[in-house]
Structure 1
Amino acid sequence: MVDLLKSLKTQQLPNPESSDQGCGHSSEPMFYYFAYGSCMCPVDLKRSLGESAHQYVVGVARLNGYKLGFYYRSPHRGCGCLDIVKDPNTYVEGVLYCLPLRLSDRLDIREDVSKGGYQHELITVTVDQKVYTNVRTYSVVNKLARELAPNDWYSNVVLRGASTCGLTEKYFWQLFYHIYKLQSYNYNYQECG
């Protein structure tokens, strides 16, 4: 984990001015992608992309004007999964990737785009006070009316990604307690029901 953090800190950042043309550090077409859930973990993202995602990490990014919530019931995991919802009073932290365009379809498959799970959303994020525009992220198409607790596997992947990629300590603990509260409520509700 220490080696991963060192490698993330020493990577060169792509030029944010070129975000709408691609990331600028490769000869192939690239795009920026903001991950705020299980895709924050490069190891887990590798499962879907079919290749290592470590070299594509730009850094910890901040999305202003949104909040996180578990408003999607994953048909694959059978639990709540993360979504972003507009909220002018808060922000979401995540990982900004600069991915080859050839991996776009694999990311869409992971996010169930063709089945109406998530959809592309273009956003603006900041990394170390640099602004990146036209960044792709995913938001839930048909949001649940209230949050659904994630299972332990999904929670662990999200928290591992948040920790490994260096989200702020304050944000990490907010995320941890939010998950804990949802899972405790779900457990207590099942016990009583």
Structure 2
Amino acid sequence: MSQDNESRQPFLYFAYGSNLNPAQMRQRCPRHRVVGIARLPGYRLGFYGHSTKWDGGVETIIPQPQSEVWGVLYQLDAFEWRQLDSYQDAKDNGRGEYFHFPVEVMDEEQSVRTAITYKKDMLDKAERPSTEYLGIIVQGAQEHGLPANYVAELRHIPTRPALYAVPRKQGPDRMSDGGCSGCGD
């Protein structure tokens, strides 16, 4: 396959965190296309590490039988993936905050779809997300019409108010050192 054809090849991305938020996705990947809602069985949502951008823990998926994480399938091209990788601090050399993780999700028609999601490389310690960060996730879940019981579960995740205005912008100098501590989704 030529590089030109590869750059046009669409990819499915399963978003379960702040990238559920339509405004955030329009800013990060203006050409994305919403495919629909989906669920990832056998996982739960967890918040780990400390994000200076959000002043709290950032989300990842954790294997847990009998649990499920709901999210949205987006179609992205290769250019948009590279853009999103930059926002997520996902690096090909494995030194980023997140990495690409292949998943099989169930779409609204109960069909299995193969997609890629982001998963934290190092969990550090569990930490509450900031109230503001979780609010971005809940807003996206509501706007996409995720199941009401799942949205209610999200709302009941313990949070704490950020101690400063979030999201804190990450400057280019903070990204050039090979990582951005807690860039988050």
CA distance in 2, matches of 1:100, 1:150: 30
Residue 41 (structure 1) shift: 1.2
CA distance in 1, matches of 2:132, 2:19: 13
Over residues 131-172 of structure 1, what are the superposed CA-to-partner deviations in whole Å (9 max), with x where a residue is unaligned? 102x110111110232x1222331221011000001100000
Tell me if the contact between 2:31 and 2:76 (Cα under 8 Å) persists in the aligned partners: no
2:86 match:
109
Residue 77 (structure 1) shift: 2.3
CA-based RMSD of the aligned residues comes to 2.1
Return the letter of the residue paired with 2:10: M
CA distance in 1, matches of 2:54, 2:156: 21
Aligned partner (choices 103, 116, 122) of residue 136 of structure 1? 116
TM-score computed with the length of structure 2 as normaliser: 0.76
Residue 183 (structure 1) shift: 2.9
Query: 2:123 is paired with a residue of what secondary structure?
Result: coil
Tell me if the contact between 2:15 and 2:71 (Cα under 8 Å) persists in the aligned partners: yes
Residue 47 (structure 1) shift: 2.2
Return the letter of the residue paired with 2:119: S
Tell me if the contact between 2:14 and 2:117 (Cα under 8 Å) persists in the aligned partners: yes
TM-score computed with the length of structure 1 as normaliser: 0.73
2:27 match:
47
Query: 1:132 is paired with a residue of what secondary structure?
Result: strand
CA distance in 1, matches of 2:120, 2:15: 13
Over residues 87-130 of structure 1, what are the superposed CA-to-partner deviations in whole Å (9 max), with x where a residue is unaligned? 11201000111111221111111111135201110000011211
CA distance in 1, matches of 2:146, 2:19: 14
Return the letter of the residue paired with 1:70: F
2:182 match:
none
Tell me if the contact between 1:42 and 1:52 (Cα under 8 Å) persists in the aligned partners: no
The structure where helix makes up a greater share of residues is: 1
1:83 equivalent to 2:60? Answer yes
2:138 match:
159
Query: 1:81 is paired with a residue of what secondary structure?
Result: strand
Unaligned 5+ runs, structure 2: 1-6, 164-185
Tell me if the contact between 2:42 and 2:65 (Cα under 8 Å) persists in the aligned partners: yes
1:95 equivalent to 2:72? Answer yes
Aligned partner (choices 61, 64, 68) of residue 45 of structure 2? 68
Figure out how many residues of one structure are paired with residues of the other and give that number: 153
CA distance in 2, matches of 1:152, 1:48: 22
Higher relative contact order (CA 8 A, sep 6+): 2
Return the letter of the residue paired with 2:13: Y
Q: How does 1:15-34 map to 2 (within 5 A)?
A: 28-34=8-14
